[in-house]
Structure 1
Amino acid sequence: RILFLQYLLWSCFCFTPGYGGDWIDPDTPEENRKTITYVEALDGAEFELVMSDEFNVPGRTFKDGEDPKWTALHKNDYTNAALQFYDSDYLYTDDEGNLVVETAAKDTEIIGFDDVNREYTHITKHFKSGMLQSWNKFCFTGGIIETEVLMPGKWNVGGLWPAFWLLGNLGRHTYVGSTDGVWPWSLTECNENYELAQLFSGCNNATHFGFKPGVGRGSPEVDIFEVQPGPIKADTGPFKYTWIGEPFLSASYQIAPGKSWNRPGPGFWPGPGQWYPDIKQGWNTSINIGYYGNWNFVEGEKGASKRDYWSDAVSWNHQLQATHFETFHKYRLEWGLPSGKPRNNTMDGYDSGFLNWYVDDKLILSMKGESFHNVTGGTTPTEPMYVLINTALSRNWGFPIPCPDGCDCMKFNCNSRRQDDLCGFPTGFCEMMLNENPKYKMNYVRVYQNKNDEHHKVGCSIPERPTRKYIEGHPDLYKTEDDEKPLKDIQKGGGACDADANATFVDAKTCGGLTRGTCSTDKKKKASCTCDSEWTGPNCLAKEGSDPYDWDPPETIGDVGYYGPLRTSPFYLILISAITFTIVAVYWNQGNVK
């Protein structure tokens, strides 16, 4: 009986998934640790904070191995006709409590493998910028994500492409091998028409890498915003047939499979039955008629046509103003998963999942899962999604359309004196770039979930949608040839510091100040940081982070049937020991009385 009670105690305290604060920034104000959903059908349900980053500690950097939550890419981007090289030095936190993504007109010589054209190349990129990812570190499934942002550059000068978005963990953006046949699939059911196009088809009953038989997998994309600045007004030029002009925000759900027939053409409004029904647009918002998606095809391989497919960009544009580039504004996404239960009429279709976008707490766009399922069989995202923050540049985004007369629009170099290198830029772009590096500033990122919703989970590999074994089994898809592995281990301490610096200041020189780390000098008089238990990174500027519940731990003796107690806090260990001791004492006394 004593052993049974002890086992019961362990079960209660150690086996129940918890909604803890392992990813929560201690700088998050108490009043911001809960939020109420804006979705009327959820009747004001309360959501609790599960991840936050306030970016209040100045001098943070995010190079691979420096931060438990984020990784700043340091590699070329071969996607979307990108003009920039992602440089990890162009992401940092400033003295005002912001994450900064900086963009500069500076050259990078690149000798490496082109993932798109599958060949080694020697090219020069004439711009540097930053991309921050939480890939395979922090992911979440369902909930609310919110941020406050100051857009980069000038509202009326085109050329920059700031974005804040989510992607399924099976695909790592810019690592093209990881996204082939994976992006942006949301089809979970078997559809034999797409069995070869979707790498992880629902028609496959194999259970490799922990995948569930008969469940299709992929890496869908949710764009919380992609912003296009510029001077072109609605009802003119490329926006002739829409009432939204530049600058605008695109809110999009990118999914596959897309509609394979009776599609609207770019630049034209959809006709009856040509697009997804029952999508609700909010204030100052209109369907994005300029882009409906891609035809993804494979060339030069036997049977390639069976691997070709449409991916759709279900996208709406929201009008922005100069103020969005001059002051901070709030952007929010609410994401609900399909319930898997019979439709509840009181939910008005929300049981099929939903995506709702808000700007400054006002609804701009609402989609329900049944809109996709009834057309292509797709769903709202069911994959664990990671967060991406970046500024890109591309001749396909905000650059002159059509190309100016006498210009081939193939070379783009603001530091050149050759007209061929300058003629394809938007008006005023190079002047802006050469005057001052534009800065995309983010005040915070916060993620909330409903602890009463069984579908809401934190983790990049969850029971319903595991990813760990596949990623570990295919590391080359998620790294460059120069990387030893996709992500480096996080360095805890060891960064250079100043032993004479005022420790009351929180910065890299002081190892985070009094409460985060100390600067020590060794026998060779070399000063380096030693981090306290809850802080990490070379200079102790980042809070330790981990999932509150390990859904998919590495292989252990548990795989052969033994399940020991999971990780728990010292408080609970002491409490369990005390209760066990009390029970034993009671039984011992009863035995002596008899």
Structure 2
Amino acid sequence: MDDKEVEDDDALHDPSTLGTERNSFSPARGIANIGILVILVLALMALFIAYPVITYVRRNARNLAIDNNIHINSTGQSAVLFNMPEIIDPDTPKDARTRTGFDGKDYELVFSDEFNVDGRSFYPGDDPYWEAVDLWYWATNDLEWYDPKQITTANGNLVITMDSVDDPTTNHGMQYRSGMLQSWNKFCFTTGYIEVAMTFPGPNSATQGYWPGVWTMGNLGRPGYGATTDGMWPYSYDSCDVGTFPNQTEKDQSGPAAAIHSDESKDKYDGKLSILSGQRVSSCTCSGEEHPGPSVSKGRGAPEIDVLEAEKDKAGDGQVVSQSAQFAPFTHDYLYNNDTDDDWYVYDTSISRPNSYRGSAVQQAVSGLTRVPEDMFQGSGQNMTVFGFEYWADPNNRDDGFITWVSDGKPSVRMGPGAVGPDTGTNGSQVSQRLIPEEPMSIVLNLGISTNWQKILTGTMQFPAQMLIDYVRVYQRKGSTNVGCDPKDYPTADYIAAHPEAYNNANLTGWTTTNVPGSSAAGYSWPKNSLVRILKQHSVVVTLLTFVYSTMAVDRPTYLSVLAVAGVLEHRLPSPLLSLSKAKPLYHSPFPNVPRAIQRTL
């Protein structure tokens, strides 16, 4: 037995302490510790999971509205904070949010910008719906450089300023500096009514030289980016025929005669009806070729409808606005049909008239001229004047389409689809119906200057010159809202994303060097046209059948029947195969004794 004494503080080895120790575990403290851990875990989950989800849901509508916007100011400047995520400006008066159309239908506001926040900036990334371009508009030989700093907002207006610069070397070698604002790939609309209230630059209505413009273009073309408009502008066409070909002529230049030469074409175009590259993404596009969709059988393009372009009246005093739509392919001599009021109508002949200019080898124009008030100029009152156009296009009922233009708040001129109907007569260009635009249309606001537009008389002008816009509003029929630049029936987003060089380089002038000789082209391939292949196959078949007809005792009805069967066998020959009276020569027959009517098939 160990007789050593136990230390006073050594309870572990002191038998007398057995049963007297106290349990130190505290259930309340443990629960508290676990609770704190749970709270920490929940807090982390809220921070890294719930908060991002909530933020996404709250901001998703705005994100969709500015989906294609670049979120950085490319200049590094700090723009005026502008909070207009809504597609309808809250400052738009309540009584301006609905209207009765000129077609008698009820319309509702789908977009507006009242420009009431002063000091706005429109550099890339500054605005959800607008962007000011930084480029030379070479396509119309403009004398200005478009610079984003020339556009801002002040006193409740959008202000576009044109300056005459002292030293062109500081302005890309250009004498003038101005602004162009676009909604391209940010806001688009398909059918509806667009209205602006604005003033014109210049001391009075005698001014001559400015080129104010408010217009729209199909989103597949980016204004000022020539590679994108090559083969797109101003096509509004969904037929598969010679109208889709370069110059609107057959490859061997055998016809149609109306396309080979037009007395109305200019000398610089050698009398050709058209010098366009052809419809790049036509309804003839071969399967597997690049096409924006929804299928290769849908003809697509970048049509143009102008709210206005202002100029000095060549027929008298004062100013007029040209209100027009541009089309391709072209009718012979650029003629449009005005046989009935449904085709073409002038509301007030005392101030409005048809434009004698009907187009050139790059566009066909259906246009009216209307005199404008004397007090709407920079130096003569600067009173806001309302302009716009209302249009309707239904792919399922194209006969219902129309465009009605508005000047000084009143309808000025109107056109229907019959104005640009088929041109298949004996002297026609053999094109089919051109369409009231069905593409999603973006908006352009600009102040240019070019001798392409009118003679420039600087003594009648003033600088700085300003074009003011009080508001831009877009309405659509109730129940027919269609806004956005990528609608499912006329998509554009994937096609634009697949061709970044063309849509982001304003210095390019063509899609491919094959179609624009000497151009600085994007280098993309031109989609193959199925009609070219069909015509080649068909020409061989017809030549053989004609040889049989000319050397054997085959009557004409039998020949035509065999020809029709051959057409079926040769893969989807165009339907006018047997309409010989309206046909055009497909090839030069080596058998002159064969009746001419039998040598014509399309």
The residue aligned with 2:488 is 463
State how many pairs are aligned. Answer: 380
The residue aligned with 1:253 is 325
The residue aligned with 1:214 is 297
Please give the residue correspondences for 1:550-565 in structure 2 after superposition, counting only pairs within 5 Å. none
Tell me, yes or no, if structure 1 residue 426 matches structure 2 residue 457.
yes
Give 5+ residue unaligned stretches, structure 2. Answer: 1-59, 66-84, 247-277, 424-431, 509-602
The residue aligned with 1:293 is 359
Contact 1:108 1:128 in 2 (8 A): no
Contact 1:85 1:108 in 2 (8 A): no
| Equivalent residue in structure 1 for 2:499, among 474, 479, 504 | 474
Contact 1:107 1:127 in 2 (8 A): no
| Equivalent residue in structure 1 for 2:153, among 81, 87, 93 | 93
Please give the residue correspondences for 1:91-240 in structure 2 after superposition, counting only pairs within 5 Å. 91-94=151-154, 96-106=155-165, 124-153=173-202, 154-196=204-246, 197-206=278-287, 208-229=291-312, 233-234=315-316
The residue aligned with 2:402 is 354
> Please, what TM-score do these two structures have when normalized by structure 1?
0.60
Compute the displacement of 1:206 (Å).
3.3
> Please, what TM-score do these two structures have when normalized by structure 2?
0.59
Tell me, yes or no, if structure 1 residue 443 matches structure 2 residue 486.
no
User: 2:310 is matched by which residue type in structure 1?
Assistant: V
Q: Deviations over 1:419-466 (max 9, x none)?
A: xxxxxx41514xx43xx411100000011112323xx41010111111
SS, match of residue 141 in structure 1: coil
Compute the displacement of 1:34 (Å).
1.1
Cα distance change of structure 1 residues 362 and 475 upon mapping to structure 2, 3 Å threshold: same
Compute the displacement of 1:390 (Å).
0.3
Cα distance change of structure 1 residues 469 and 155 upon mapping to structure 2, 3 Å threshold: same
Measure, in 1, the Cα distance between the counterparts of 2:239 and 2:507: 38
| Equivalent residue in structure 2 for 1:371, among 409, 412, 419 | 419
Measure, in 2, the Cα distance between the counterparts of 1:322 and 1:106: 28
Contact 1:285 1:316 in 2 (8 A): yes
Tell me, yes or no, if structure 1 residue 324 matches structure 2 residue 394.
no
Q: Deviations over 1:44-70 (max 9, x none)?
A: x22111110000000001011110100
User: 1:220 is matched by which residue type in structure 2?
Assistant: P
Compute the displacement of 1:143 (Å).
0.7
Compute the displacement of 1:204 (Å).
1.7
Cα distance change of structure 1 residues 138 and 427 upon mapping to structure 2, 3 Å threshold: closer
Tell me, yes or no, if structure 1 residue 28 matches structure 2 residue 88.
no
Contact 2:282 2:296 in 1 (8 A): no
Give 5+ residue unaligned stretches, structure 1. Answer: 1-13, 112-121, 235-244, 265-269, 297-310, 344-350, 400-424, 484-594
Compute the displacement of 1:470 (Å).
0.7
Which has more strand, going by share of residues?
A: 1
Measure, in 1, the Cα distance between the counterparts of 2:189 and 2:333: 35
Measure, in 1, the Cα distance between the counterparts of 2:293 and 2:365: 30
Cα distance change of structure 1 residues 205 and 22 upon mapping to structure 2, 3 Å threshold: farther
Compute the displacement of 1:107 (Å).
5.8
Q: Deviations over 1:168-226 (max 9, x none)?
A: 00001111111001100000122244245100111125374443231111001101100
The residue aligned with 1:49 is 109
Measure, in 2, the Cα distance between the counterparts of 1:481 and 1:448: 31
Tell me, yes or no, if structure 1 residue 79 matches structure 2 residue 79.
no
Task: Quote the sequence identity (%).
Answer: 34
SS, match of residue 458 in structure 1: coil
Contact 1:107 1:125 in 2 (8 A): no
Contact 2:306 2:324 in 1 (8 A): yes
User: 1:26 is matched by which residue type in structure 2?
Assistant: P
Compute the displacement of 1:30 (Å).
1.3
Compute the displacement of 1:481 (Å).
7.4
Compute the displacement of 1:482 (Å).
9.6
Cα distance change of structure 1 residues 97 and 473 upon mapping to structure 2, 3 Å threshold: same
Measure, in 2, the Cα distance between the counterparts of 1:93 and 1:173: 22
User: 1:292 is matched by which residue type in structure 2?
Assistant: R
CA-atom RMSD in angstroms: 2.9
Cα distance change of structure 1 residues 124 and 130 upon mapping to structure 2, 3 Å threshold: same
Which has more helix, going by share of residues?
A: 2
Tell me, yes or no, if structure 1 residue 340 matches structure 2 residue 399.
no
